C-alpha cells in the first residue's frame, strides 16, 4: 500500500485489504461530500451522489427499495427476452461484425431500458442519451461540446421520466414507492445506465478477448467469473476514512481518500494460484469485481446473465476475432473496436 499523488490517496492492492475497505463501511465511507478532506470537482455532480455514494442508514433504506428490481428471480425472468434480443442482434450483424457497435452496446443499453419499462420505440433515444452521458464521464478532459451534449441528454431523459412518473408502471412504480425525490429518481435511472451499460459491454468484450481461439468452456458460469477476475470491467473504487485507523501498516487519518484497486486484488497470489493465468475453470474464484459488502453490485446477476447468453449464442457457431483496435489510457487499455467473423472457414 502506498500514497499516490496522482490519485490523491492511498492505493490499496492486497485482496485482504481491498476486501476490508469495501466491507468496513463505518470506517471507509462512500460519502465523498461528507468525509473527503478534498472532494474532487466532479463530486458535486448529483449523478455521482446516487446509491453508490450513500452511507447507512440512507443507503440501507434506498437499497431496500431498488433491490426489489434486481432480485435473482426478477433478473431470471428477463432470460427469454435477453435471449431473443441476442439472437436478433447476431442475425442482423451478419457473418462479420463490430462486436461493440452491433452487439455489446445495444444489448446492454436495451436491456436496462427494457428493465426500466421503456417502450422499444424509445430505445434509440436511450442509446443516444447513454452515449452522450458516458462519453462525458469516460474522458479525462471533457470538452465544451461533450459537456453540452451531456446536459442536453440529461434534460431529455429527465423529461422522458417525468412523463412516465405521471402513469407509473412496473419498475418505475416500485422506485416511486421509495422516498426518493423526482430528481433523485431520474439520477438513479441515469446511474443505472452509466453503471450498468458501460461495465456490461466491457465484460462481454473482455470475455470475447479471453475466449477467442479456445473451445467453448464446459461451464460458462465459471468462465464468466474468471473473465470478471482476470479483466475486470471496473478498475477500482474510492472510499473516505471516517476515523483514525491502521491499514497495511500505515496510519490513516479522517478525510483520507483510499483507492481500493480491484484489478490488483483479483491477482493477489496469496488468494489466487497462478493469478496471471486465465483459467476458465477456476473455482473457487473470490474476485472482487462486483465489489463486496453493502455496496455489492446490484446489477451483477443481470450482467452475468447477459454475457452468458451472448457467449452461448456466439459459441453456437465457429467464430474468431479478425481485427482489434485498442488504445492506451492513463488507467489501462481501452478497446475501441473488435471485429468478429462467424463461420470464418467458409
Ligand atoms: C455497484 C461493478 C453491472 C448497477 C457496483 C460496484 C462495483 C460494480 C465494483 C461497487 C462499487 C463500490 O463499492 O463502490 C459492476 C460490473 C458490472 C456491473 C463489473 C458488469 C460487468 C451493473 C449493472 C447494473 C449495475 C448491469 C444495473 C443495471 C450498480 C449499482 C451499484 C453498483 C446501482 C451501487 C450499489 C450500491 O451502492 O448499493 N457495481 N457493475 N451494475 N452497480 Fe454494478
Q: Parse the chain into domains and list their residue ranges.
A: 2-342
Q: What is the pLDDT of residues 333-344, one digit of tens each?
A: 678 899 999 977
Query: How does pLDDT run across 62-107, given as a tens digit for each residue?
Result: 888 888 888 888 889 899 999 999 999 999 999 999 999 999 989 9
* Cell of residue 300, nine digits: 451483477
Bridge partner list, 182: none
CA angle centred on 150, ends 8 and 187, rounded to 5°: 75
Q: How far is the CA of 179 from the centre of ligand 1 (A)?
A: 22
The atom of ligand 1 lying closest to the CA of 237 is 14
Placement of cell 474510492 in the chain? 238
Q: What 3-state DSSP class applies to 23? A: helix
Average confidence score pLDDT of the chain: 88
Q: Which atom of ligand 1 is nearest to the CA of 191?
A: 33
Q: In what order do the strands lie in the sheet with 96-98?
A: 96-98, 332-342, 319-329
Protein residue with its CA nearest to atom 5 in ligand 1:
297
CA proximity to 101, closest of 267, 338, 272:
338
pLDDT, tens digit, 9 for 90 and up, residues 222-276: 999 999 999 999 889 999 999 999 999 999 999 999 999 999 999 999 999 999 9
Nearest-CA residue for ligand 1 atom 42 is 297
Mean pLDDT of 15-22: 98
Q: Say what the pTM is.
A: 0.91
Name the fold adopted by 2-342. Answer: Cytochrome p450 (1.10.630)
Q: Which of 78, 298, 304, 309 to mutate to test the pocket of ligand 1 (most atoms within 8 A of CB)?
A: 298
Instruction: Specify the pLDDT at position 329.
Output: 65
Per residue in 289-334, pLDDT (tens digit) is 999 999 999 999 999 999 999 999 999 999 999 989 877 765 566 7
Amino acid at each position: 500500500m502506498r500514497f499516490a499523488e496522482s490519485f490523491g490517496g492511498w492505493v490499496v492492492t492486497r485482496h485482504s485489504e481491498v476486501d476490508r475497505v469495501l466491507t468496513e463501511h463505518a470506517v471507509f465511507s462512500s460519502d465523498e461530500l461528507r468525509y473527503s478532506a478534498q472532494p474532487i470537482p466532479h463530486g458535486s455532480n448529483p449523478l455521482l451522489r446516487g446509491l453508490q455514494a450513500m452511507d447507512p442508514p440512507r443507503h440501507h433504506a434506498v437499497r431496500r427499495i431498488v433491490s426489489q428490481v434486481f432480485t435473482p428471480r426478477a433478473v431470471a425472468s428477463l432470460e427469454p427476452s435477453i435471449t431473443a434480443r441476442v439472437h436478433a442482434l447476431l442475425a442482423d450483424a451478419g457473418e462479420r461484425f463490430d462486436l461493440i457497435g452491433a452487439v455489446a452496446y445495444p444489448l446492454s443499453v436495451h436491456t436496462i431500458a427494457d428493465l426500466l419499462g421503456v417502450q422499444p420505440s424509445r430505445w434509440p433515444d436511450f442509446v443516444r442519451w447513454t452515449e452522450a452521458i458516458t462519453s462525458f464521464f469516460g474522458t479525462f478532459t471533457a470538452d465544451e461540446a461533450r459537456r453540452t451534449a451531456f446536459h442536453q441528454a440529461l434534460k431529455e431523459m429527465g423529461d422522458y421520466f417525468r412523463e412516465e412518473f405521471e402513469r407509473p408502471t412496473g419498475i418505475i412504480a416500485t422506485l416511486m414507492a421509495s422516498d426518493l425525490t423526482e430528481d433523485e429518481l431520474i439520477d438513479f435511472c441515469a446511474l443505472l445506465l452509466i453503471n450498468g451499460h458501460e461495465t456490461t459491454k466491457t465484460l462481454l468484450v473482455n470475455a470475447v478477448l479471453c475466449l477467442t481461439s479456445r473451445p467453448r468452456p464446459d461451464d460458462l458460469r465459471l468462465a464468466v467469473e474468471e473473465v470478471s477476475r482476470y479483466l475486470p470491467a471496473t478498475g477500482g473504487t474510492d472510499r473516505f476514512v471516517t476515523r483514525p485507523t491502521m491499514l497495511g501498516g500505515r496510519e490513516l487519518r479522517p478525510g483520507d481518500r483510499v483507492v481500493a484497486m480491484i484489478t490488483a486484488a483479483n491477482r493477489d497470489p496469496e488468494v489466487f494460484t497462478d493469478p496471471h493465468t486465465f483459467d476458465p475453470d477456476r473455482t473457487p474464484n473470490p474476485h472482487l469485481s462486483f465489489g463486496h459488502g453493502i455496496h455489492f453490485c446490484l446489477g451483477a446477476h443481470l450482467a452475468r446473465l447477459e454475457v452468458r447468453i451472448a457467449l452461448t449464442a456466439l459459441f453456437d457457431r465457429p467464430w474468431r476475432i479478425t481485427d482489434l483496435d485498442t488504445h492506451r489510457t492513463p488507467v489501462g487499455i481501452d478497446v475501441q473496436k473488435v471485429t468478429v467473423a462467424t463461420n470464418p472457414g467458409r
